[in-house]
Amino acid sequence: MGAFGFPAGAHLLRRIRTSRPSRGIPWWGRALDRTMDLTMHHRTPLNLLLVTAVLLLVAGCRAGASAEPAERSPADSAERAAPAAVAGGPELADLPSMTPTRRPEREAHQLAAGPPPRAGGTPLLAPPPDGLAEATFGGGCFWCTESDMQRIDGVDIAISGYTGGAEISPTYREVAGGATGHVEAVRVFHDPAQVTYEQLLAVYWRHIDPTDDQGQFADRGAHYRPVIYVHDEEQRRLATASRDAVAASGRFDRPIVVAIEDAGDFWIAEEEHQNFYLERPAHYERYRRGSGRTRFIERTWGR
């Protein structure tokens, strides 16, 4: 494997092990997710990936054999029953109907406002087609948020992309590097006669950890922070009311920290990120469960 492999692999694990923990995700679980990310999106030397995998196996076995049982917070306890909303408080809208295998009505890059403004960059998304409304959500990994939104009946298309930063035409690697200020997000074009904005919000809240503004689950960093981007004052009012409803629900033992910010330019992510849950379902399901998202949702919302 060469002299490069073991020092570099150990360095990668040290960096992840000392990063901010995600509730319920051990450091070696975060390292596994990071290794998957490197495999998917970066030209990481094969020897580094192999060495990292070996170190993960050893670390995981040692942790399982010697670690004391971790004290679990109420939100992470399998025995915790999700309480009802506080009597008299605000409530979330009812969930809309959903179809697990729904495909978008059109392709994301067909909705670009034009070619990328710089070589190798991403194109700007155009306004929604006539008859459709728009909504924008940051909920951690956009593969997951796109999947959650695309399944909703009445959603024309959910588009993975980047927003909230000053740089034009950012790429995945630039956003992941943390230098552009963008957030991984999803813009939803929907038919308001079939699914309302309040119902989109109800789906959004049920698929994130609203108490974590440093990332989501195994994905750490500001580009994974949860944000509701509002397109007008009515959306701001509804988003704020829904956030109040979540805070009043009694489901969380920490403050609700999801930001509500003005929507701006939205850059369409690279083709391999669109419809990932449909194009690579096995990979997607492994990632989603491995990140801790599925377990958190099931224990918090009872499904």
Contact indicator for 190, 182 with CB cutoff of 8 Å: no
Taking CA 245 as the corner, what is the angle to CA 260 and CA 139, rounded to the nearest 5 degrees? 45
Consecutive H or E run containing 173: helix 172-176
SS3 call for 283: helix
How far apart CA 10 and CA 25 sit, in angstroms, is 19
Residue positions annotated with a catalytic role = 141
| Phi, psi (rounded to 5 degrees) for 301 | -110, 0
How far apart CA 182 and CA 222 sit, in angstroms, is 8
Q: How many residues does the chain have?
A: 303
Longest dimension (CA), the chain: 65
